[in-house]
């Protein structure tokens, strides 16, 4: 299957040949869909807390956080290209000599362009774009409206203009306060001071692409001192790239290894599941995870951040119980009643499958079972009521051994051709906003190897195009899906106000992203 040259290429990427063969076999055999048993709902996999509970958990977290090492982990490598998809379509198809915005929008059934053009001055980048236009198009003021709009979009996206689509979302103008425009990256620094700091220090880790790294460093150098003075917090910011060794091969539609023009094997980035390696390199007591584009203006952030503290307070309470139980199991002075209490905690608090015949286990086997199941990473995940947003959600899932556990499942993992599975999705009440806090050290203070808790069967197989050829691509189990399949999980309802992603540029018009106009 592989030549000596291939094997050397594989070795140079830090991958084993057997690993690549396994990837090819996985693509050939097709992906394993999740076997949904039920949607997780309030009282059945999702917890809910009132204002008094919220206050208590926040106080508990605030009282303990200065004794903890905390880091905020932000995946930030994705380019912003998809944010501007409808604008690229506009550039390609709009003819100012024949079209008005209204006629174009009607002809193309494109309401997004009408919204965009009608609200230009509300976008945080408006002044920057106009300033750039005046440099490159001296006669801009004399153009008619249609030509002005076309020039505005060109200046935003063109390589010779501001080239916004080249940059990652984290470095685009996201919010505007009076005359100051800030990026999502800067907003994440500020947000970390609200819940992810201890002893006057905020530690953040961003996963970025190598091509964008220097731009993130430039932005950091520009804003760091000013923010430190404003927030009285010292920022420790680090960056990493998706590791080459996590890349995967692709096959043609004839199940042959896809090769580049020079004959070498094409290796592709393997989705956000590849970031498990980056997460695994972090050595902190608590890790908050949040996507780069889910960030709100500072006035709203103070309210939203309360719920991050809620999740952290719940996590610390659960972790304390787990550590107490594991220490007792080590000491050995236990009764059957003690073991029953631990089993109930495991089943109903950590949502971990327990064998139906657990009562028939010997005393020693119960202890061994509890040690193995309790001594795992813990995550507490915020879940938002489903209001039609796309994305995965919380489900009870049966694995190949018949065990049912609580999981976050992406739609790509669900076999919609099976009516029963489809019906369960429609019954889902909540979805996953990617809002997690994680404990990744054991009761002895040792860091878990997170790669030991992955379900390899949860890999994705997707169809992509490479140089006009259809290929079958493999993505590793998603970071908060299959990569955390064997963690102990607690899901908690949080308000929809905590979820404000920017999927298209028009999302910046929503109140959560409008610093000046709300």
Ranking 84-88, 211-215, 422-426 by mean pLDDT, the lowest is 422-426
First to last CA, the chain: 61
From residue 338, alpha-carbon distances to 29, 219, 325, 334, 372 in Å are 46, 54, 9, 6, 17
Strands (E), 165-259: 173-177, 180-183, 197-198, 201-207, 234-240, 248-252
pLDDT in tens, 160-177: 899 998 899 999 999 999
Opening angle at CA 197, ends 312 and 302, nearest 5:
75
pLDDT in tens, 77-135: 877 888 999 999 999 999 988 888 999 999 999 999 999 999 999 999 999 999 999 88
Which uninterrupted H or E stretch holds 366?
Answer: helix 363-374
Are the C-beta atoms of 453 and 377 separated by less than 8 Å?
Answer: yes
The whole-angstrom separation of Cα 333 and Cα 329 is 8
The whole-angstrom separation of Cα 229 and Cα 299 is 18
Which uninterrupted H or E stretch holds 470?
Answer: strand 469-475
pLDDT band at 411 (very low <50, low <70, confident <90, very high): confident
Tokens of 322: 């787990």
- Side-chain-facing half-sphere of 415: CA atoms under 13 Å: 14
> What integer pLDDT is reported at residue 468 of this predicted model?
83
Its pTM stands at 0.94
Which uninterrupted H or E stretch holds 460?
Answer: strand 460-466
DSSP 486: T
Tokens of 85: 């998809």
> What integer pLDDT is reported at residue 516 of this predicted model?
59
Q: Which residues 6+ apart lie within 8 Å of 189 measured at CB?
A: 202, 204, 223, 224, 227, 235, 237
- Side-chain-facing half-sphere of 251: CA atoms under 13 Å: 20
Q: What is the dihedral of CA 232, 73, 44, 455, to 10 degrees?
A: -160
pLDDT exceeds cutoff 80 at 517: no
pLDDT band at 454 (very low <50, low <70, confident <90, very high): very high
Are the C-beta atoms of 184 and 92 separated by less than 8 Å?
Answer: no
pLDDT band at 518 (very low <50, low <70, confident <90, very high): very low
Are the C-beta atoms of 216 and 185 separated by less than 8 Å?
Answer: yes
pLDDT in tens, 360-372: 999 999 999 999 9
From residue 2, alpha-carbon distances to 5, 10, 261 in Å are 8, 10, 16
* Residue 39, SS3 per DSSP: strand
Q: Which residues 6+ apart lie within 8 Å of 13 measured at CB?
A: 244, 245, 247, 267
Backbone angles phi, psi at 343, to 5 degrees: -65, -40
Are the C-beta atoms of 235 and 224 separated by less than 8 Å?
Answer: yes
Are the C-beta atoms of 6 and 265 separated by less than 8 Å?
Answer: yes
Tokens of 330: 């080590």
pLDDT exceeds cutoff 90 at 323: yes
pLDDT exceeds cutoff 90 at 412: no
> What integer pLDDT is reported at residue 81 of this predicted model?
86
- Across-strand partners of 488? 378
Backbone angles phi, psi at 241, to 5 degrees: -105, 160
DSSP codes joined into one string, 276-287: HHHHHT---SEE
pLDDT band at 326 (very low <50, low <70, confident <90, very high): very high
Candidates 308, 300, 73; CA nearest to 175 is: 300
- Sign of the CA dihedral running 165, 166, 168, 170: negative
What is the SS3 assignment for 388-445? CCCCCEEEEEECCCCCEEEEEECHHHCCCCCHHHHHHHHCCCEECCCEEEEECECCCC
* Residue 324, SS3 per DSSP: helix
Backbone angles phi, psi at 36, to 5 degrees: -70, 135
Of the segments 17-26, 239-248, 403-412, 442-451, which one has the largest average pLDDT value? 442-451
pLDDT in tens, 467-499: 888 999 999 999 999 999 999 999 999 999 999
Tokens of 349: 């608090």
Candidates 310, 288, 386, 297; CA nearest to 72 is: 288
The whole-angstrom separation of Cα 261 and Cα 473 is 18
pLDDT band at 346 (very low <50, low <70, confident <90, very high): very high
DSSP 485: T
DSSP alpha helix (H) spans, 140-204: 145-157, 184-195
Angle of helix 101-108 relative to helix 111-118, nearest 10 degrees, comes to 150
Are the C-beta atoms of 150 and 96 separated by less than 8 Å?
Answer: yes
The whole-angstrom separation of Cα 159 and Cα 230 is 35
The whole-angstrom separation of Cα 410 and Cα 271 is 13
Tokens of 301: 């952030």
The whole-angstrom separation of Cα 432 and Cα 411 is 11
- Across-strand partners of 201? 198, 234
């Amino acid at each position: 299957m592989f030549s000596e040259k291939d094997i050397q290429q594989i070795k140079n990427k830090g991958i084993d040949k057997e690993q690549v063969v396994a990837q090819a076999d996985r693509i050939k055999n097709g992906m394993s869909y999740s076997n949904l048993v039920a949607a997780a709902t309030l009282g059945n996999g999702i917890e809910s807390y009132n204002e008094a509970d919220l206050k208590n958990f926040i106080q508990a977290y605030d009282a303990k956080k200065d004794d903890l090492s905390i880091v905020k982990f932000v995946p930030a490598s994705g380019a912003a290209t998809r944010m501007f998809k409808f604008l690229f379509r506009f550039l390609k198809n709009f003819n100012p000599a024949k079209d008005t915005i209204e006629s174009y929008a009607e002809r193309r059934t494109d309401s997004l362009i009408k919204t965009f053009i009608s609200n230009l001055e509300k976008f945080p980048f408006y002044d920057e774009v106009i300033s750039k236009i005046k440099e490159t198009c001296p006669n801009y003021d004399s153009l008619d409206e249609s030509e002005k709009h076309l020039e505005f979009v060109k200046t935003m996206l063109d390589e010779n203009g501001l080239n916004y689509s080249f940059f990652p979302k984290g470095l685009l103008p996201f919010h505007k306060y009076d005359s100051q425009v800030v990026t999502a990256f800067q907003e994440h620094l500020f947000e970390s001071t609200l819940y992810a700091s201890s002893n006057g220090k905020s530690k953040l880790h961003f996963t970025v692409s190598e091509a964008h790294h220097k731009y993130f460093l430039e932005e950091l150098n520009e804003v760091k001192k000013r923010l430190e003075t404003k927030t009285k917090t010292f920022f420790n910011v680090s960056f990493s790239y998706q590791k080459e060794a996590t890349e995967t091969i692709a096959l043609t539609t004839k199940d042959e290894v896809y090769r580049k023009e020079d004959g070498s094997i094409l290796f592709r980035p393997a989705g956000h599941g590849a970031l498990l390696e980056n997460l695994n390199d972090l050595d902190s007591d608590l890790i908050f995870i949040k996507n780069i584009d889910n960030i709100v203006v500072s006035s709203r952030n103070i309210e939203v951040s309360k719920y991050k503290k809620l999740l952290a307070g719940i996590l610390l309470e659960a972790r304390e119980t787990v550590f107490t139980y594991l220490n007792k199991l080590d000491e050995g002075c236990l009764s059957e009643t003690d073991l029953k209490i631990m089993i109930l905690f495991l089943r109903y608090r950590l949502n971990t499958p327990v064998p139906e015949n657990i009562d028939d286990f010997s005393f020693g086997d119960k202890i061994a079972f509890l040690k193995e199941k309790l001594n795992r990473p813990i995550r507490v995940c915020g879940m938002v009521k489903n209001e039609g947003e796309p994305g995965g959600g919380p489900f009870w899932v049966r694995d190949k051994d018949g065990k049912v556990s609580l999981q976050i499942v992406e739609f790509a993992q669900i076999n919609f051709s099976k009516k029963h599975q489809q019906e369960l999705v429609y019954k889902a009440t909540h979805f996953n906003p990617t809002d997690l806090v994680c404990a990744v050290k054991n009761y002895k203070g040792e860091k878990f190897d997170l790669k030991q808790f992955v379900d390899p069967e949860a890999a994705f197989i997707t169809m992509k195009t490479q140089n006009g050829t259809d290929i079958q691509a493999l993505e590793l189990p998603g970071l908060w899906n299959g990569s955390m399949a064997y963690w102990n999980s607690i899901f908690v309802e949080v308000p929809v106000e905590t979820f404000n992603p920017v999927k298209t540029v028009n999302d910046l018009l929503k109140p959560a992203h409008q610093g000046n106009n709300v």
